[in-house]
């Protein structure tokens, strides 16, 4: 596997809530084994100490992150991470793994199947994919490139915590994300809970 390395680091202002903004660094990398364009967003805490940063591993969801689709809670989880890290500092690893790794168009196909009664995992299976096609080695590579040795993790997904076993990066604490329940995402959240996510539903 080719190790990743930091390519470019640039300052950007990000929207927090409806009226305020926060400066963060957006970081690109080179050398990912999957050849995707994953990025990190780094928020510095008030005292500029990030010896054990809060980390959110967030897989791209165009429909949720950008359009705030009512079918999922992805956009709300991303907003929660940004708002939290604007205060506490931290790192968002934004992974280009749309639709749990099946791609945008396939995810839209899965939406049709979900409308016919299948849950999000069953729809992926019906399309010929595994439940979850994502792999998270790229997240480890990004943290190594950033020289991060220990973290707190913001997630409801135990699989994301498992990737740190034998990674050389210490996982000190797991913090659950909030419940973002909407009119159209109850079955989606239930399916995630049934598949092991820690959701207080």
Instruction: List active site positions.
Output: 132, 134
Among 82, 47, 43, residue whose Cα is nearest residue 177: 82
Nearest-angstrom CA–CA distance, 170 and 148? 9
Residues contacting 24, CB < 8 A, separation 6+: 11, 12, 13, 14, 41, 42, 43, 85
Element spanning 26, H or E: strand 20-30
* Opening angle at CA 64, ends 85 and 40, nearest 5: 40
Q: How many residues does the chain have?
A: 201
Look at residues 158, 178, 197, 188 and name the one whose alpha carbon lies nearest to residue 76: 178
Residue 17 has φ and ψ, to the nearest 5°, of: 70, -155
């Amino acid at each position: 596997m080719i190790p990743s390395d930091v390519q470019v680091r640039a300052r950007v202002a990000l929207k927090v809530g409806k009226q305020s903004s926060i400066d963060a660094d957006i970081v690109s990398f080179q050398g990912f084994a999957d050849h995707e364009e994953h990025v990190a967003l780094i928020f510095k805490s008030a005292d500029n100490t990030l010896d054990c940063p809060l980390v959110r591993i967030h897989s791209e969801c165009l429909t949720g992150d950008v359009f705030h689709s009512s079918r999922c809670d992805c956009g709300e989880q991303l907003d929660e991470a940004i708002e939290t890290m604007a205060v506490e500092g931290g790192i968002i690893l934004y992974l280009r793994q749309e639709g749990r790794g099946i791609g945008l168009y396939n995810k839209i196909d899965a939406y049709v199947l979900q409308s016919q009664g299948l849950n999000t995992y069953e729809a992926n299976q019906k399309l010929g994919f595994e439940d979850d096609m994502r792999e998270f080695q790229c997240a480890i590579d990004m943290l190594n490139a950033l020289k991060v040795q220990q973290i707190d993790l913001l997630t409801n997904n135990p699989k994301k915590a498992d990737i740190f076993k034998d990674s050389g990066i210490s996982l000190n604490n797991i913090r659950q994300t909030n419940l973002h329940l909407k009119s159209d995402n109850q079955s989606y959240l239930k399916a995630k809970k049934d598949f092991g996510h820690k959701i207080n539903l």
